[in-house]
Amino acid sequence: MPLWSPYLYLGYPLHGDMQGGAWNPVVWLLSLTGRYDLTSMHLEILIAIFVSGAGMYRLLKTQSLNAQTCVTGAVAYMMCGFVTDVGGSNLPFLWGAAWIPFVIAYAYELLRRPSLRYTICAAMTMALLLACAYPSFVILTVYILFAGLLFRVITAFIAKDHIYLKKLALYQTVGIIVFVCLAAPVLMSYLHALPLYDRGSGVDLKSALYNSLDPRCLNSILFPGPTFRDPDVEGTDLIMRNVYFNLFFLMLLVSYAWQQKRKLLNFTFAGVLFFLLFALGEHTPLRGICYQLFPLMDTFRHPANARLFVILGSIFIGACMLEKMLQSNLHRRRLRATAVFFLILSLVFSFKAMRENPFSKSWDVLTNAGEQSAAGFKLFLDSLRSSDILLVICLLQLAFLLVFLFLTRKKNSSSLIWLFILNSFFCAQLAIPFTLVGKTSPKAGNSILKTYPKGFPPPGNHQTIGEASINATAHFDTIGMSGFYSKNIMVTTISYTPTMMKLFEDLAADSSAYQNVLSHPYVYLNNDSVESPTSTSGEIILKKFTNNLFVFETHSAKREQLVLQQLRLPGWRCYVDGKPAEIELVDRALMAVNLPEGNHEVEFHYRPTAVIICLYISLFTLIATIFLSVKRRSGKHA
C-alpha cells in the first residue's frame, strides 16, 4: 500500500492526507483500472453525485414517502448549488455531500428502532464519511448526531421508557466500537500526521472565518448564477456561493410555516436556521461562539460549507410538504399565493437587470470567436456580467412559476413532479459553466499526463534536486503541479494540495539549507561532519525501491554520512547491514545515517506500525460484519 510518496515536497505521508482521497475506496477501484487521470476524476465526480442522490432517497424513505417524492428530492439534491459548486474542484467536499444523507438516515433509524442492522449501517457509512470527506463535514455531522441522540434520550427519559434507553445504549456502544474498528487506520493516520502539519493543531479565529458565505449570496436561493460574477462577493470563494436547492422546494419550505408542526421537522427547521447563520461566518456571531465553546470547532475553515446542511434540511422539509401536496392535504391556495409572490419578485429583478444594458459586450465576444466554438463559448461565459446572468435566470424562473400556477389549477400531480425535476436540471446547467467547465479540455490534460511515468518509478541519481525541480510548475493551469506527476524527487515553495509539512516549511525558510538541498541529488555521501558537509567520491547504488522503501549499496574508503533527501518524519526506520541504525537530522528536515568505511547495504523503510496494525483490525472488522450480516439474512430466509 502506498503510504509514502517520495516525490512530493521531499517526501509526504499519503495515508495522513485528509484531503487527498488516500482512503477513499472509489479512488482505489479507479486506480486499479489504470492511470488515474482527468477522465477517472470525472467518473469519480459522477459516482459521488449519484451516491449523493441515493443517500437523499434513502433519507427521505425514512419518512415513508412515496417513490415519486423521494426521486424528486434526490434529483434536487444531486443538482443543488453545493454539488454544482464543488463537483469539479474539491472532491472531498463532494464526497461529504454524498455520504452525509446515508449517515443521518441510518442514525435516525437507529434512534427510532434500535437494531444491529442500523447499527452496522450507521457505523459503516460514518467510516466512509471520515475516509472520503473534508474533516469539517465529519465534525458537523457528529454534532448533528449528538443533538439528535440527546433530544431522543430526553424524550424517552421523560416518558420513562427505560427498556428503550437500555437497548439504545447497547446498540450505540456497539456502533461506536464498530465505527472505531472500521475507521481505525484512517483515525490513526490522521493522528499520526496532524501534528506534522502547520494547521494540525488548529486555526486561529480569523482563519476559521475564512470563506464565510457573503449575505449577498443568499439571493442564489432563488436566483442561482449571478453571484458568480458579482464583484462585491469576492470574499467568498467561487465554489462556495450557491445555496440553490430548487425553486419549488423553496416554496414548500415557506409553506411549512402554516402547516401542522411535527417534532422532527421542527428539529430540522431549527438546524436549517442554525447552519445558515453558521455559514454566514464573520457576518454573524454564531461561528465565533462555536469556535470558542465547542470541541474541534477551532480546527477548520470555510464556514460557507455549512450551507450543505441548509440545503439538505430544506429539501427534507420540502419533500415532506410535497408528499402532502400530492395527497391534496396541503393548502394549495396559500401555495399559489407564495408562487405569485416569487413571480412578482422575479419580474422586479428582471426589470432591474434589463436596465443595465444586458449582453452589451457578450455578443461581440461570441461573434469574434469564429470557428473556435468551444473556446468561444467559454469566452462568452467569462464576459457575462452579473446582471446578464440574473436576467436569464429570472426569465427561466418566471416560466417555471407560470407553468406551476397552471398545473396546480389543473391538479396535475405527475406533471408537477416533472416540473420540479426540470427546474433542478436547468438551474444546474446554468451554474455548471461557471464552476465545472474550464478553458482546457480533459483530452488536453490527459495528453499531458500520459507523458509522465506510471506508478512509482525509481528516482534517478544523475541530477540534482534543483535540476529535477525546474519544470515543477509547468502546465500549472492545466493539471496543477507538474512535479507531482513527473515522478522526480523535487521541491517547490508553492503551497499546493497536499499541505506542506512543518519540517519542509522550516527547511524552505532556511535559505542556506534550501540551497544545499537544491545543489545535491536525492541521495549522496558526505563526510561525517553535519555542520560543514562536503561531497565525497564514494559510490551509491540503488538496489531496491518502492514508495515506502529505499535500499542502497554503498562503497567508500572512509567514514561517510549517507544523506537521503526525504523528510525525517515518524515511521521511518534505517538498517545498515541488517542492523538498526540511528537516523540523524540534517538540513533542518532530512534524513542521514553515519557509515563506517567499506561496503554496506543501507535500508530506509517507512512503516508506521500503528497504522499497519489498525489496517488489519479494519479488514477483520469489515469481514466480520459482512459475515454476520449475510448469516443473519440467510437465517431470516430459512
For the segment 4-36, what is each residue's pLDDT rounded down to a tens digit? 999 888 999 999 988 888 899 999 999 888 788
The lowest-confidence range among 103-112, 191-200, 356-365 is 356-365
Give the contacts of 241 (CB within 8 A, at least 6 positions apart).
81, 85, 213, 214, 217, 220, 227, 228, 233, 304
Confidence at 200, pLDDT banded by 50, 70, 90: confident
Quick one: 122 exposed, middle or buried, by C-beta within 10 A (0-12, 13-18, 19+)? buried
pLDDT digits (tens, 9 = 90+) for 292-350: 999 999 999 999 999 999 999 999 999 999 998 888 766 778 888 899 999 999 999 99
Angle between helices 263-279 and 286-293 (to 10 degrees): 100
Give the pTM: 0.92
d(CA 133, CA 532): 46
Res 153: pLDDT: 95
Q: Looking at residue 73, what is its pLDDT?
A: 97
pLDDT single digits (tens) 393-452: 999 999 999 999 988 887 667 788 999 999 999 999 888 877 776 666 778 888 888 888
Give the Cα separation of 457 and 549 in Å (integer): 12
3-state secondary structure of 259: coil
Give the per-residue pLDDT at 444: 82
340-379 pLDDT per residue, tens? 999 999 999 998 888 877 776 666 655 665 545 555 566 6
Amino acid (1-letter code) at residue 193: A
How many angstroms separate the CA atoms of 438 and 604, rounded?
A: 42
pLDDT at 529: 46
- What is residue 533's predicted lDDT score, i.e. its pLDDT? 45
- Sketch out the chain's domains with CATH numbers: 447-516 (no CATH), 521-610 (2.60.40)
pLDDT at 530: 42
- Report the pLDDT value the prediction gives residue 590, as an integer from 0 to 100: 96
**How far apart (Å, rounded) are the C-alpha atoms in residues 222 and 243?**
9
Residue 531 pLDDT grade (very low, low, confident, very high; cuts 50, 70, 90)? very low
Average pLDDT score over residue span 494-512 = 84
Percent of the chain with pLDDT over 90: 61
Q: Are 565 and 489 in contact (CB under 8 A)?
A: yes
Chain centroid to CA 234: 22
Q: What grid cell was written down for 137?
A: 463535514
Cell numbers 419518512 label which residue? 63
- Which residues are registered as beta bridge partners of 573? 605
* Confidence at residue 379, expressed as pLDDT on a 0 to 100 scale: 66
